Amino acid sequence: MAVRRPQEVLIREVGPRDGLQGIPRVIPTAQKIAFVEKLLLAGIKAVEVTSFVSPRAVPQMADAEEVVAGVRHLPGGLAQKATLSALAGNLRGVERALAAGVDEVVMVVSATAEHNRANTGMEVEQSLSQLREAVALARGTPLVVRGAVAVAFGCPYRGEVGLAEVARVVEAMLEAGVREVTLADTAGLAGPRQVYGLLEKLMRLFPEAPFALHLHGAREVTLANLVEGLRAGVGVVESATGGLGGCPFIPAAPGNVATEEVAELLARLGIKTGVDAGKLRECAAWLRGVVGGPNGTP
């Protein structure tokens, strides 16, 4: 069995965005900033701090500008040692991200028309054309634009998603000039063989492309999926502390793979992340107190 497992992996924490976006009770801005501070103190080097989307669509993210400003001013220059990113679903979101001064914006486009409509109200082609405009907008500024392919491993509105559908979006993103492409199992439908198979094929089609993996689902399955992603050669993993999370536009969306478990698994595999799994466990316990029960239920 060929092993291309990397020696070092970047863990990108998406808890402050993906983890919190579906929680019905609006978390105070100060607690979101405190969450990011704890993550940075645990050694997290890349964090998706919020999303610049419609506050009507996702009320939890209405304070995006304030969160970014608060994180930027954390004591000890903490935020300056990390990469702060934010999600956008349209060009307006990218404009807001640029004005707010995040380091990176990730624009999400779904592999299927059905999920793209539910998530962004647009056709896939419209989203891709806004992505091209986003890259043009960011040119000459410090803002880095990344792309994320939602429902890359299966779509609850459609079922199976074919290689061609994913490859079409990946190709358009790379042609637009994104820095990296995240493959997201938004609905938690992937299995280990599928993760390896898709990544392997995409890496063959796009040998220069840096890919990240974004996983949702049951603990056992996501960790197996992660191992297969690493074996295929992925160098960036997205996860949420406490295993919170889920897309509000997917019925009964499962949580993200938990960052503390990713950090521990990677440590046991001898892969360096610079992240302290013990501190993340403390952060996860604190977070449970902030949000209440699973995904905000009391």
**228 forms part of the interface with Zn ion (CB under 5 A):** no
Q: Kindly tell me the burial class for residue 67, based on how many C-beta atoms sit within 10 Å of its own C-beta (0-12, 13-18, 19 or more).
A: buried
DSSP string, 233-268: T--EEEEBGGG----TTSTTPPPBPBHHHHHHHHHH
* Binding-site partner at residue 57 among Zn ion, ligand COA, none, CB < 5 to 8 Å by type: ligand COA
**52 forms part of the interface with ligand COA (CB under 6 A):** yes
Residues 4-43: x/- map of binding to Zn ion (CB under 5 A)? --------------x-------------------------
Q: For Cα atoms 47, 149, 25, give the angle at the middle one, nearest 5 degrees.
A: 50
**259 forms part of the interface with ligand COA (CB under 6 A):** no
What's the rounded Cα separation, in Å, for the pair 162 and 12? 26
Of the candidates 201, 216, 214, 212, the one whose C-alpha atom is nearest the C-alpha of residue 178 is 212
What's the rounded Cα separation, in Å, for the pair 92 and 30? 25
Stretch that binds ligand COA, among 24-32, 49-57, 129-137, 269-277 (CB under 6 A): 49-57
Has 247 been annotated as catalytic?
A: yes
Q: Which is nearer to ligand COA, 238 or 264 (CB)?
A: 238
In the bound complex, what is the minimum distance in angstroms from residue 1's beta carbon to Zn ion?
29
Residues found near Zn ion in the complex (CB under 5 A): 18
Residues found near ligand COA in the complex (CB under 6 A): 21, 51-54, 56-58, 87, 89-90, 92-93, 96, 108, 119-121, 150, 247-249
